[in-house]
Chains A and B, each alone.
Chain A
Amino acid sequence: MEYEIIVVGGGHAGCEAALSSARLGHKTLLVTGNINNIADMPCNPSIGGPAKGIVVREIDALGGEMGRNADKAVLQSKMLNTKKGPAVQALRFQADKITYPKEMLKTLQNTKNLDIKEAFVEDLVVENNKIMGVILADNKKISAEAVILTTGTYLKSVILTGANKEPGGPHGENNSKFLSDKLKDLGFKILRLKTGTPPRIEKSSINYEETSLEPGDKKIRTFSFDNIIYKDSDEQIPCHLIYTTKETHDIIKEHLKESSMYGGYVEGVGPRYCPSIEDKVVRFSDKERHQLFLEPESIFYDDIYIQGFSTSMPHNIQEIMVHSLPGLKNAKILKYAYAIEYDAIDSKQLKPSLETKIIEGLFTAGQINGTSGYEEAAGQGLIAGINASLKLENKDPLILKRNESYIGVLIDDLVTKGIKDPYRLLTSRAEYRLLLRHDNADLRLRDYGYKVGLISDEKYSIFNKKKEDINELTNLLINTRITPKKETNEYIESLNSNPLKDGISLLEFLKRPEIKIEDLKHFIEIPYSSEVQEQVEINTKYEGYIKKALKEADKMLSLEEKSIPENLDYDDIDNLASEARQKLKEIRPITIGQASRISGVNPADISILMVYLRRKKI
């Protein structure tokens, strides 16, 4: 074998997959169409956001690269949902589209065991349903024990603007012409998906007086638990907010049929949660305006990204659409918006390890699995890299549960429910989101990262110190009591809190909704990091709810512990509803818990399945 693992595609999934497998000591090859497009951000210039920001933290906790790399490329840092509670807060960066890929490439090139090759993979070498390697466009074979496909939007991709259809990937790159047909021949169900991107305009042509400022937070935070800040807070670049006008909507309605989407030129299914502007105007016709953000792409060039304005209109219509927007009357379009269609595989054909069910040793991650978003891709890439490595080492795969991580939610959704439109991770997809917080990603996952081998001893001891500190501080607050002395009560009343009647511990006192851990510094010194203080504060304040969430999670886990044999003959089970039988045969869930989440499998089917397993003593 020339390589142990080959990763096909150098996007966000591919980078994480290649780095993790190489770092775990496996000789790895990353094949990409264009080295200059490694870790490219072809759509929005941001990383993180609700749910996605938590994924980035999880990637970092497990030993992936995205968080650290984003920290190096930050243009603006913003913590979202701060007015809501800790469970749904998430960090989002505007990230520099030049710096991010450059830094990632540097990291890849400095990683041991990792080679990078510029080429297109057009076929796979498969023997007895086992992957043996890849075949390049020039027919050259490269052998490997495992292959991870992270082909993004490049499978048979077509760029659409109006009636114009051009085969190719983003930035006028080449696409992969035959690989999806080969996958189909191997037995994969191929889906056609669509996504799109808005126009970029020249910064100097914008009249900012007609926009409102959307600055970053006062303080830059980091995605990585390394906590290294690469930029001064006051160097952040702001975004700006504008709204579409009636004129914009009129133009869109008048020219609707000229768009690729409404002109019937698109076969693929577009993302529900990230609709094009023409979709928004049609579907929400009662809304008078839609919000758009003007976002900087980089400090090295002048492009401004119009977030919320993706379209598949022809160029001439895009011109008048853009010019109908406030502040953009004289805007110069540097890059036109486009829609892109591409092939993906049916993610129900994957195991929870991201290995395909059909071909042993073949893994897939990212947009090829039907997801959208850099973060979703990176999370899968990391897991695919880890699990391909574990497979070569004859170890059990790493399967994260729904109560442990958003990555677990994402992969479980993919392999259990499948997708119809490009899948975007949302906070609402997680049942136990109070457990899956931004702030505790390391506490949830770092042990896994260490066990797998992606977290160094040094980092792991820092993490363990943090855990000890959390315990120490909690005990300190339990053991320190305050009593209703005059001075004490005067201070408490100055915090708009009720004076004490009896003595209480500081921990009890902290449970009062109006009291913050900062306020306790009046009584004692708290010589612990702000992260440690934050953990203790959240654990104390929301103790009751965290317990409730844990209880719910336990219910789910009890079903998750009941495993279903891989070779179970569903035809042998009488009385399963036929839809349920067909779904179970297709998805082959590994636990009762997973089976219960399959749509079309009803509680009655689950009872039948459990009765069967119990009777057969499986």
Chain B
Amino acid sequence: MDDTIVAISTALGVGAISIVRLSGEEAIDIVASCFKGKNLKEVSSHTINYGHIYNEEELIDEVLVSVMKAPKTYTSEDVVEINCHGGIIATNKILETMLTHGARLAEPGEFTKRAFLNGKIDLIKSESVMDLIDSKTEEARKLAMSGLSGRTSQLITNFRDTLKNLLSQIEVNIDYPEYYDIEVVTEEKIKQEIAKMKKDLDYLVKISENSMTLKNGIKTVIVGKPNVGKSSILNKLLEEDKAIVTDIAGTTRDIVEGEINLDGILLNIIDTAGIRKSEDIVEQIGVEKSISMISQADLVIVVLNNNQKLTNEDLEILEKTKNKQRIIAINKIDLEKNIDLDLNLENIIYTNTTDINGIETLKDKIKELFKLEKLNTKDYTYLTNSRQIALAKQANKSLLDAEKSLNDGLPVDMIEIDLTNCFETLGEIIGESYKEEIIDNLFANFCVGK
């Protein structure tokens, strides 16, 4: 890490100001060499300095330059931030000037990578920075901040402490087998401890998955036979959210048609094109395709017509969605009721798209289904990305293995292997257990500049 890196730290686009950031041993020298104003090499650390950036003789911009000297900086290296006037051209010019004066363009995530490698932040915090940048809603932003607070690390550390205690008790019995006065850790006791930890870890995973839903959005598909009112429901939802309707076709998530922010909950509507254009998804793309969409969805909204008897198509849709998280919306309740539905089915709501109440019921139902009330935004202690959640699940699997082996009567030295694996896996979440690949992969995902 001997070279100095530079990147535009603010989003590209027209704004009042943009920030170009440099980090590295020569950060101050490089900026000083193209700055007219105070001599930046002589100013005190953590000061803001007014002046102008020149490329050779050409004036680029009027700027404020923050000079922060190591080690009390984001990366633990010398950091300089140039606040310049916003706009793509001016900002890029400044970036180019820095590049021609000896800085290297930062790789994605490199500032945070340096912060991590310099011991400034732990793994979970560096991931949180990435989450913070990516967060699309206020809820997601708060979640990311909770990762930064270190509360998540503390929680994982607590799990590990419990395991460490259990392991050392087992080990005392192994190393001092004939000392009858030492309390012997019975299988019963191990079982109890494991059961409790498993429950807690399960809860953490579940609630974290919900929080992931918050962050990534709930993949939602609206299905129903033609003319039941799918597009009306969709449009009603879209009306609710006046801010965000994005067409992001062509991105990797090309099946996602739009994102709807409902009180901080992000709904990713899958393939609404079919719905909006023809009102006829089942007919148009066939049941097969709808099934594949259904299988990818976190939430399926099945729309039925209150005014009609159930058809074979309706019954097939109900059958195909029965194991999914689903809401059955009985639409057109302002018309005569002819529907012959088994009302014992769960999560039935009644909508009438001419009236706002139906949509409110739908929204409440979504919140209820995803237990979003439970996600107290003030007290987030969750795993905040899929890597962490996958590791937590893996750790839980080790506990499950241990439990199973205990029940099968396997000896304690086998159980210990599962417990140790659980301990190590949890360590990977917080970067206590060392794994090269994680670090390599992790930083490739950061956006440039942060």
Q: What is A's interface to B at a CB cutoff of 8 Å?
A: 50-51, 80-81, 83-88, 214, 287, 289-291, 293, 426-428, 431, 433-434, 513-514, 542, 545, 548-549, 552, 555, 559, 574-575, 577, 596, 602-608, 610-611
A434 in contact with B175 (CB, 8 Å): no
The contact string, 1 if C-beta is below 8 Å from chain A, for chain B 147-182, is 000000000000000000001100101111111110
A545 in contact with B417 (CB, 8 Å): yes
Q: A88-B174, A604-B117, A610-B436 known; A434 and B181 CB under 8 Å?
A: no
Q: A287-B181, A291-B180, A291-B181 known; A428 and B413 CB under 8 Å?
A: no
The contact string, 1 if C-beta is below 8 Å from chain A, for chain B 85-118, is 0000000000000000000000000000000111
B181 in contact with A86 (CB, 8 Å): no
Q: A51-B175, A84-B174, A87-B414 known; A548 and B439 CB under 8 Å?
A: no
Task: Identify 14 new A-B residue pairs, CB closer than 8 A, beyond the known A80-B178, A84-B412, A607-B439.
Answer: A80-B177, A81-B174, A81-B177, A84-B173, A426-B175, A428-B171, A545-B405, A548-B421, A552-B421, A552-B424, A575-B117, A606-B434, A608-B1, A611-B117
| Chain A neighbourhood of B175, CB < 8 A | 50-51, 426-428
Cα separation A548 to B405 with both chains bound (whole Å): 13
Q: Does B274 contact A (CB under 8 A)?
A: no
Smallest beta-carbon distance A474→chain B, Å: 20
Of the A-B pairs whose beta carbons lie under 8 Å apart in the complex, a sample of 19, sorted by A's number, is: A50-B175, A84-B177, A214-B178, A290-B181, A291-B178, A291-B179, A426-B171, A428-B174, A542-B410, A542-B414, A545-B410, A548-B421, A552-B424, A575-B117, A577-B119, A603-B432, A607-B439, A608-B1, A610-B436
B409 in contact with A85 (CB, 8 Å): no
Among B178, B408, B417, the residue within 8 A (CB) of A434 is B417
Within 8 A of A (CB), among B407-450: 408-414, 417-418, 420-421, 424, 431-436, 439
Most B Cβ at <10 Å: residue of A214, A291, A514: A291
B414 in contact with A607 (CB, 8 Å): no
Cα separation A606 to B438 with both chains bound (whole Å): 13
| Chain B neighbourhood of A549, CB < 8 A | 417
User: Quick one: closest A residue to B424, CB to CB?
Assistant: A552
Among A51, A88, A289, A611, the residue within 8 A (CB) of B181 is A289
User: Quick one: closest A residue to B71, CB to CB?
Assistant: A575
A87 in contact with B409 (CB, 8 Å): no
Smallest beta-carbon distance B40→chain A, Å: 22
Cα separation A279 to B117 with both chains bound (whole Å): 44
Among A289, A513, A606, A611, the residue within 8 A (CB) of B410 is A513
| Chain B neighbourhood of A287, CB < 8 A | 181
| Chain B neighbourhood of A289, CB < 8 A | 181
Smallest beta-carbon distance B129→chain A, Å: 16
Most A Cβ at <10 Å: residue of B167, B171, B178, B436: B178
| Chain B neighbourhood of A559, CB < 8 A | 434
The contact string, 1 if C-beta is below 8 Å from chain A, for chain B 1-21, is 110000000000000000000
A86 in contact with B117 (CB, 8 Å): no
B177 in contact with A50 (CB, 8 Å): yes
Q: A607-B117, A610-B436 known; A427 and B171 CB under 8 Å?
A: yes
Q: A427-B175, A602-B119 known; A574 and B2 CB under 8 Å?
A: yes
Q: Does B76 contact A (CB under 8 A)?
A: yes
Cα separation A293 to B434 with both chains bound (whole Å): 44
Q: A428-B174, A603-B431 known; A84 and B118 CB under 8 Å?
A: no
Smallest beta-carbon distance B248→chain A, Å: 35
A575 in contact with B76 (CB, 8 Å): yes
